[in-house]
Amino acid sequence: VTPIASSPSMPGWDLTSWAARSRGAWLLLTRRLPILAVLGLQSLLSLRLVNTAFQDEALYIYAGHRQISHLVHGTPLYDNYSSYFSGAPGLYPMVAGWLDGLGGLALVRSFSLLCMLAATLTVYWLTDRWFGGGGIYAAALFAVAGPVVFLGHLATFDAPALALLAAAAALATQSARRSWWALIGIAPVLVLAVYTKYAAALFVPSVLAVLAVETQRRHGWRAVAARVSIVAAVTATCTVAVLWLSSDALRQGIVATTLEREVLLGTSRVGLARTVAEYAGLLLILAGAGLVLVSRRRPILALLLLMTGVLAPINHLRLGEATSLHKHLAFGFVFLAPLAAVAVGRLLGGTFKSSGPQLLAGLALIAAIFYSGLGQAQQLYATWPDSHDLVHLLRTQVRPITGRYLVEEPEVPRYYLRQLVEPYQWSSTYWLQYEKDGRLLTGVDAYRAAIADRHFDLIVLRYGPTAALDTQIDGPLRAQKGYELIARLPTRTAFGTGYYSVWRRR
């Protein structure tokens, strides 16, 4: 009924081609803009987190500096990083140290962000491949999850290991489409992921299972047997080869941080379950719903993803340890997010062509993850004290070469003051060996003897992780015997307010 009015033509304008171009540009934009928007938001969420270096960040970056210096100048290391690092010291720490030299901690953390963005992109891609769409939902769910946002601004092994693991899963998926280069790439990437962070080995079977499921779907069981066995064999060979070539310390380190891991901070099973529910509960529920929704179409894959998603929580429940649980949950999110996206996608009608109420429902779910993620990431980032004031104070006191400093968690000031203080000048409240009257003392006795001898120029206690020891050795300090209290610096963490007490030798 309505006549279509013809557009008035203007001199110099070819409306047809302009419209075509404009439509083409819009289509291009609609393809790229959504994921770019999610990545942009993820970046902002991660970059807004502000704090000084975390103990682990400081430890790894410092180790990187020392190793680079050792390689280039032959500077002694004074430490055997391999024996206690949870990843190969020659991989990520070296990269982190190099980046820190270029642009400081901000650049190292940006590298983590880059890795997490890559992981988000991979999740996006994987979901589209596995379920024929919904990648944007998966990317959004993954990107705003608290642990993911947190890892995006944490300069540790986790972000690159996670990105490599996701890349391995992507290669496994792609290889099922007759992509030989992808098949060849799986094993090296997996080995790299495992050596970047040993805990990534937990997810290697899942990646192989993904390879099996995707291959079976297209090429049958015979291809599965061939490809999986090849990739598994190459992965195992590479891993063993690296182990064989590396030092005993590395082997000990791998065993000590994985198979024979000593629980540092024991937590009850109930407490752990509560933590899992807090960080991953909603995503697990959505993934469960997704499992039901795709149970007919892709039951094995869905089950595999869900099982992989709960691997880390189960492992932590088995160990009864909460340390790094949130970080390991993020590894599982790579596999949970695609399943959860199926549920969200179904709610939103597959595409966004649903009415307001559906949008509201889907939006509420994503917003719940977003807001909880927003708070969780902030809270996780506030679990360690801002060391700015302490480092500033130490900078006014430390003396190169000759000074001796006992500091609770010395990794952080050691990293910030690396240009001024040598590694051997620092002592921590975790372990000390002190010789007195020909006897080699350790533990509380060692600390007491050293303090009595005014061995340390400075003593910094926070009454944090080693509060039990601190209260046993601070008697002479509080009595101002040989030491004077020069500052009490307030610190505020997610757990409350505390103080750095700084004593200086009289």
Partner 1 sequence: MSALRVDVGKAGGQDHSEVRESDYWPLDTAGSSPGDASAQVSDIDAPTLITLPRRGGGRAWSVLVGGLGLLLVAMVAVAQAGPWTALFCLGVVGAITIAGTEQAAEARVVVFAVCVGLTAVDYLSWRFGVINWSQWYVALPLFLAELFAAWHTVGLHFTIWPRVQTTPQSTADPTVLPVFVLIPTVDEGPAVLEPTIRAALAARAAYLQVHPHACVEVVVCNDGLVAGAPSTFGVAALAQQLGVRCITRSTPGGAKAGNLEHARQLLGAVGDSLVVIFDADQVADPEFLCRTIPHFADRRIGWVQTGQYYRNLDNPVARWANDQQSLFYSVLCPGKSRQNAAFICGTNVVIRARALDEIGGLPTDSVTEDFAASIRLHSRWRSVFLPGRLAEGLGPLDLDGYFRQQSRWARGTLGVLGRHWRDLVLPRRGGLSVSQRLQYAIASTHYLCGIRDLIFLLAPMVFVFTGLTGVRGATLSLFLWHFVPYLLASQLAFWHVAHRRTSLRGILIGFLSFPTLIVAAVAAVRRKRSGFVVTPKQSSSGRGWRPLAPHLLALVVTLVALVTAVGAWSTAVLLPTVWLAVMGAMLVSGPYLFLTSWQLHRGRHARPRLAGLRLCGRYVTNWQLNRGRHARPRLAGLRLRGRYVTTAAAAVGVIILASHLAEVFTLPTVSSAAAYDGRMRVGVALPNELLDQGAAQFTGATGLEASVVGRSEEIREAFDVRWAEQLTRQHGRIWINLSFARDGSVTLDSSLRAVANGVHDRDLQRWARAIRQYGQPVYLTVLQHSDRDWSASSGVANGGIPQDVTSAWLHIRSVFRAAGANNVVWLWAPADPANDAGYTPPASAIDGVVVTMLEYPRQRWVDPDARLAGVAAAHPGKPLFVEVAAAGSPKKKAAWLDSVAAAAEQRSDVAALVYHEGGPAARPTARDLRIWSVASDGRSLEAVRRTWSSLFSQKGGS
Residues contributing to the site for partner 1 (CB under 8 A): 1-2, 10-12, 26, 29-30, 33-38, 40-41, 44-45, 136-137, 139-140, 143-144, 348-349, 351-368, 370-371, 374-375, 392-393, 395-399, 417, 420, 457, 486-487, 504-505
Give the pair of three-digit tokens for residue 5. 């009015």
Give the residues across from 497 on adjacent strands: 492
Find the shortest distance in angstroms from Cβ 386 to partner 1: 18
Q: What is the DSSP letter of 355?
A: -
Find the shortest distance in angstroms from Cβ 326 to partner 1: 19
> Which lies closer to partner 1 via its Cβ, residue 352 or residue 431?
352
> Which lies closer to partner 1 via its Cβ, residue 54 or residue 137?
137
CA distance readout (Å), 317 to 204, 272, 323? 20, 7, 11
Find the shortest distance in angstroms from Cβ 478 to partner 1: 19
Find the shortest distance in angstroms from Cβ 99 to partner 1: 23
Calpha distance 419→408 (Å, rounded): 20
Give the pair of three-digit tokens for residue 167. 């890349």
Find the shortest distance in angstroms from Cβ 159 to partner 1: 20
Please report, in angstroms and rounded to a whole number, the separation of the first and last CA atoms in the chain: 97
> Which lies closer to partner 1 via its Cβ, residue 324 or residue 372?
372
> Which lies closer to partner 1 via its Cβ, residue 135 or residue 313?
135
> Which lies closer to partner 1 via its Cβ, residue 296 or residue 353?
353
Calpha distance 363→369 (Å, rounded): 10
Find the shortest distance in angstroms from Cβ 22 to partner 1: 10
Q: Tell which residue, 456, 446, 444, 462, has the closest CA to residue 506.
A: 456
- Taking the CB of residue 244, how many other CB atoms lie within 10 A of it? 8
> Which lies closer to partner 1 via its Cβ, residue 313 or residue 362?
362
Sign of the torsion angle spanned by Cα atoms 122, 123, 128, 130: positive
Calpha distance 151→324 (Å, rounded): 11
Calpha distance 177→298 (Å, rounded): 17
Find the shortest distance in angstroms from Cβ 121 to partner 1: 13
Instruction: Report the relative pairing of strands 405-407 and 458-461 from DSSP bridges.
Output: parallel
Give the pair of three-digit tokens for residue 497. 């307010």
> Which lies closer to partner 1 via its Cβ, residue 21 or residue 269?
21
Give the pair of three-digit tokens for residue 475. 């008697």
> Which lies closer to partner 1 via its Cβ, residue 331 or residue 503?
503
Find the shortest distance in angstroms from Cβ 80 to partner 1: 29
3-state SS class at 296: coil
